[in-house]
Amino acid sequence: MHVHTLIIGAGPGGLACARTLAQQGITALVLERKKSIGPKVCAGGITWSGLISRVPEELAEKSFPTQHIHTPWQKVRIEEKTPIIATVNREKLGQQMAQQAIEAGAIIRTGTIVRTIKEKKVIVQDRASEQKEEISFDYLVGADGSSSLVRRHLGLRSRRLGIGINYQIPGNLQQMEWHLNNRLFGNGYAWIFPHSDTVSIGAYADKETMGPTQLKTSLLHWAGKQGFQLGNHRARAEYINYDFQGWNFGHTFLIGDAAGLASGLTGEGIYPAIISGEETALTIANPKHCSNSMDTLINKHDQHSRMVRLSAKNGFLNSLLAELMTLGLRTGMVKFHKLEMAV
Ligand SMILES: Cc1cc2nc3c(=O)[nH]c(=O)nc-3n(C[C@H](O)[C@H](O)[C@H](O)COP(=O)(O)OP(=O)(O)OC[C@H]3O[C@@H](n4cnc5c(N)ncnc54)[C@H](O)[C@@H]3O)c2cc1C
């Protein structure tokens, strides 16, 4: 079988790329190893300014014009007229994006894992029948997340990784909270993100400053103090790749987490995945496409990465930066949108 563009991974990046390619008249084949599209370890927070035009409002489970930020020294409440962040169910987001891509003309095959990449072709395996097949392509898009096979095929290592741990527990809370505490979470943070009838409670940290076991221990300890007994619930954890080393490699492209485009500062990755997916599609359709959106995204990513590197230097500096940033948010000198990947 031969296809014009093969996209590996049906996350938000791969689906945005497939939809945009189809809108440009190019039929892409998306291969997804999972049996269904959408489920993903995630807190489901979408920054409203960046995604409002791309995610239908009815997908938002809860919207938050108020953010609560806690540090060892400050408790800050930031309020805006319109929602700053909304929560979405990743399964529903995935299903909706897949439907849009299919309606535009893309082809999606689930339960199909890409095993090997060779020059201009891949070997894929159907998970149910275990049958193998060869697919050749003109363009290859690696939208296969933080442990990307395409990235490894290009010889790129991922040295800068964040760790995200999430518990999705039943509950109906109204307040979105961020807790920064260097002693517990290194240069990361813990969150409470309410969904419609569940709550995402989790923690994110740069792997440089904290290992997964220590982060989980801190999270359980902290959550207990907040009144959440997480011991009986299932923790789900994944790496978040923020080691960006390029996205356009001629006939091979990397997008989203595979490209290392998630924020190292906050772990926000849905917006960068969608933007890089759309821009990759426009570049494949027209190699002369001038990708200003990609330049802006890379610039923002770089700013976040520099802040992570600075805060990872030592605990005192990190605590100081966290307190100064929170003070800035309280006084209005720092806008919350500065912490988002959208401009
Ligand atoms: C705990 C946690 C909380 C998070 N919270 C947020 C949040 O609140 N807001 C936010 O914006 N971001 C959040 N993120 C980050 C966000 O989930 C990712 O950045 C985003 O999903 C990246 O999208 P993607 O399309 O690049 O990759 P993914 O969503 O990872 O999709 C990659 C797809 O590729 C498939 N795949 C991989 N290898 C193969 C293969 N060989 N063959 C076929 N298919 C393959 C995978 O099954 C997967 O479906 C969080 C991450 C974690 C871990």
The pair of structure tokens assigned to 15 is: 């689906």
DSSP-derived 3-state class of residue 308: helix
Residue with the smallest CA separation from ligand 1 atom 7 is: 45
pLDDT (0 to 100) of residue 193: 98
pLDDT (0 to 100) of residue 337: 84
| Residue 7 alpha carbon to ligand 1 centre in Å | 14
Quote the CA–CA distance of 283 and 96 in Å, as a whole number: 24
Do 113 and 122 meet the contact criterion of CB atoms below 8 Å apart?
A: no
Beta bridge partners of 140: 6, 252
Q: How far is CA 225 from the centre of its chain?
A: 28
pLDDT (0 to 100) of residue 138: 97
The pair of structure tokens assigned to 246 is: 């390029």
pLDDT (0 to 100) of residue 335: 86
Question: Does 50 sit in the ligand 1 pocket, CB within 6 Å?
Answer: no
Quote the CA–CA distance of 282 and 274 in Å, as a whole number: 12
DSSP-derived 3-state class of residue 67: strand
Closest CA to 323 of 163, 187, 162: 187
Question: Does 85 sit in the ligand 1 pocket, CB within 6 Å?
Answer: no
Question: Does 45 sit in the ligand 1 pocket, CB within 6 Å?
Answer: yes
Ordered by start, the domain boundaries in the chain are 2-339
pLDDT (0 to 100) of residue 246: 97
| Residue 145 alpha carbon to ligand 1 centre in Å | 5
pLDDT (0 to 100) of residue 36: 96
Q: Give domain 2-339's CATH superfamily.
A: FAD/NAD(P)-binding domain (3.50.50.60)
Quote the CA–CA distance of 57 and 53 in Å, as a whole number: 9
| Residue 46 alpha carbon to ligand 1 centre in Å | 14
Question: Does 34 sit in the ligand 1 pocket, CB within 6 Å?
Answer: yes
Ligand 1, atom nearest to 112 Cα: 43
| Residue 11 alpha carbon to ligand 1 centre in Å | 6
Do 236 and 165 meet the contact criterion of CB atoms below 8 Å apart?
A: yes
Question: Does 52 sit in the ligand 1 pocket, CB within 6 Å?
Answer: no
Q: Where are the alpha helices (DSSP H) in the chain?
A: 12-23, 48-51, 90-104, 149-153, 182-185, 212-226, 256-259, 270-285, 292-311, 315-331
Question: Does 340 sit in the ligand 1 pocket, CB within 6 Å?
Answer: no
| Residue 37 alpha carbon to ligand 1 centre in Å | 11
Question: Does 194 sit in the ligand 1 pocket, CB within 6 Å?
Answer: no
Ligand 1, atom nearest to 270 Cα: 11
| Residue 147 alpha carbon to ligand 1 centre in Å | 10
Question: Does 38 sit in the ligand 1 pocket, CB within 6 Å?
Answer: no
- pLDDT, one tens digit per residue, over 25-49 is 999 999 999 999 999 999 999 998 7
| Residue 327 alpha carbon to ligand 1 centre in Å | 32
Residue with the smallest CA separation from ligand 1 atom 16 is: 269
Residue with the smallest CA separation from ligand 1 atom 18 is: 269
Question: Does 17 sit in the ligand 1 pocket, CB within 6 Å?
Answer: no
Do 40 and 11 meet the contact criterion of CB atoms below 8 Å apart?
A: yes
Residue with the smallest CA separation from ligand 1 atom 19 is: 269
Question: From first to last of its 343 residues, what are the pLDDT tens digits of the chain?
Answer: 999 999 999 999 999 999 999 999 999 999 999 999 999 999 999 998 778 778 888 899 999 999 999 999 999 999 988 899 999 999 999 999 999 999 999 999 999 999 999 989 999 999 999 999 999 999 999 999 999 999 999 999 999 999 999 999 999 999 999 999 999 999 999 999 999 999 999 999 999 889 999 999 999 999 999 999 998 999 999 999 999 999 999 999 999 999 999 999 999 999 999 999 999 999 999 999 998 999 999 999 999 999 998 888 788 989 999 999 999 999 999 888 888 998 8
Ligand 1, atom nearest to 202 Cα: 1
Checking phi first, is residue 105 left (phi over 0); if not, alpha (psi -120 to 50) or beta? left
User: What pTM was estimated for this model as a whole?
Assistant: 0.96
The pair of structure tokens assigned to 197 is: 């009838």
Ligand 1, atom nearest to 146 Cα: 30
pLDDT (0 to 100) of residue 58: 87
